């Protein structure tokens, strides 16, 4: 197999790059970082068939795929080349993926029947993942945490409670509620209208924040909850050695057992407040849950596992 891998590969937070070593173990891989051409959509769509033709590509895997025109996908398919897409954000933009892909990988199990209804035969759930080597740090003899050490220590990023993410519906009121009840929430990310710390400059800062926060809030976008799609932080927070408190829905209970995750009811302010207060006071149980979640993630939700699954279906 000679695989054309079209993905976002040039930013530190682009997790697609972590699949590369494992794809390369099993097949030849030609890279196409199509995000470099964000402002030249015609160029992205012009390049794809030329790359396939010039390099003897036998399969194409596109990550996300919103910039590729359906006609171009069809053109490559007419050349006898299967074109797969890992849709990544179809919970927000299902319409962007109604293109003639031969195979769909989706993190949104609630959309699988909809894909079938739209004529797709080969559709598979593929959740997000981590690369364990990014999250493993040297152990500390003092803290007792699973991961610690200088690489994850930064006093400026310590917090009782924190939330890292973009301002989506439902998030701001929950953070405001906790603050009004004297729970200090450090807030990081984009587009917030309430007091926040802004965007973290480096991905390693995210790991430090998660690791050094007692209770890391995870609040899913409503569109993700609707299709049972768990976001990337579900895996990243525990992988960084952080305790996560996440909104409860089917997509979470399908991925983790009750002793691997702490949840609250999304529609209940009382549930959120009570859960935060409870977990702030129980450091031993926080560490137990984080440790079990982390072990589970490093065993089941890794770049290596995802690459193997993808190639088995191509």
pLDDT digits (tens, 9 = 90+) for 175-232: 999 999 999 999 999 999 999 999 998 888 999 999 999 999 999 999 999 999 999 9
Q: How far apart are CA 109 and CA 88, in angstroms?
A: 12
- Tell me whether residue 262 is exposed, middle or buried, using C-beta atoms within 10 angstroms of its C-beta: 0 to 12, 13 to 18, 19 or more: buried
For residue 10, tell me if it sits in a domain. Answer: yes
Whether residue 210 is found in the same domain as residue 72: no
Q: How far apart are CA 11 and CA 84, in angstroms?
A: 23
Residue from 242, 227, 222, 228 nearest 283 by CA = 242
End-of-domain residue from the set 91, 126, 161: 126
Q: Indicate the range of 5-9, 105-109, 267-271 predicted with least confidence.
A: 5-9
Helix axes 269-280, 171-180, angle to 10 degrees: 60
Whether residue 160 is found in the same domain as residue 176: yes
Whether residue 87 is found in the same domain as residue 170: no
Whether residue 136 is found in the same domain as residue 82: no
For residue 149, tell me if it sits in a domain. Answer: yes
Q: How many domains does the chain have?
A: 2
| Residue 281 predicted with pLDDT over 90 | yes
End-of-domain residue from the set 92, 126, 160: 126
| Domain of 179, in residue numbers | 132-300
Q: How far apart are CA 271 and CA 20, in angstroms?
A: 41
Whether residue 196 is found in the same domain as residue 257: yes
For residue 258, tell me if it sits in a domain. Answer: yes
For residue 313, tell me if it sits in a domain. Answer: no
Whether residue 197 is found in the same domain as residue 246: yes
Whether residue 121 is found in the same domain as residue 137: no
Whether residue 122 is found in the same domain as residue 136: no
pTM, to two decimals: 0.91
End-of-domain residue from the set 85, 110, 126: 126
Phi, psi values for residue 216, rounded to 5°: -90, 115
pLDDT digits (tens, 9 = 90+) for 128-183: 999 998 887 644 333 334 444 336 778 899 999 999 999 999 999 999 999 999 99
Whether residue 16 is found in the same domain as residue 150: no
């Amino acid at each position: 197999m000679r695989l054309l891998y079209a993905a976002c590969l040039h930013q530190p937070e682009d997790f697609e790059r972590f699949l590369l070593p494992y794809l390369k173990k099993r097949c030849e891989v030609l890279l196409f970082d199509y995000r470099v051409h964000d402002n030249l959509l015609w160029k992205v769509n012009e390049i794809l068939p030329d790359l396939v033709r010039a390099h003897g590509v036998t399969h194409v895997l596109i990550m996300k795929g919103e910039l590729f025109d359906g006609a171009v996908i069809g053109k490559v398919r007419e050349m006898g080349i299967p074109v797969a897409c890992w849709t990544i954000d179809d919970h927000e933009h299902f319409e962007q993926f109604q293109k003639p892909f031969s195979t769909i990988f989706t993190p949104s199990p609630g959309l699988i029947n909809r894909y079938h209804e739209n004529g797709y035969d080969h559709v598979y759930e593929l959740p997000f993942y981590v690369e364990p080597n990014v999250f493993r740090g040297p152990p500390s003899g003092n803290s007792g945490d699973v991961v610690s050490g200088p690489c994850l220590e930064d006093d400026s990023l310590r917090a009782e409670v924190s939330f890292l993410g973009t301002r989506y519906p439902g998030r701001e009121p929950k953070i405001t509620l906790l603050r009004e009840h004297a729970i200090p929430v450090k807030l990081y990310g984009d587009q917030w209208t309430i007091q926040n710390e802004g965007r973290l400059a480096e991905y390693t800062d995210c790991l430090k924040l998660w690791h050094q926060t007692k209770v890391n809030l995870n609040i899913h976008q409503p569109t993700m909850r609707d299709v049972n799609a768990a976001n990337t932080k579900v895996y990243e927070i525990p992988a960084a050695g952080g305790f996560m408190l996440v909104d409860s829905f089917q997509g979470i209970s399908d991925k983790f057992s009750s002793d691997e995750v702490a949840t609250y009811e999304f529609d209940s302010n009382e549930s959120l407040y009570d859960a935060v207060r409870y977990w702030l006071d129980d450091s031993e149980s926080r560490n137990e849950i984080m440790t079990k979640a982390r072990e589970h993630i490093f065993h089941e939700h890794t770049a290596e596992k995802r690459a193997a699954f993808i190639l088995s279906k191509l």
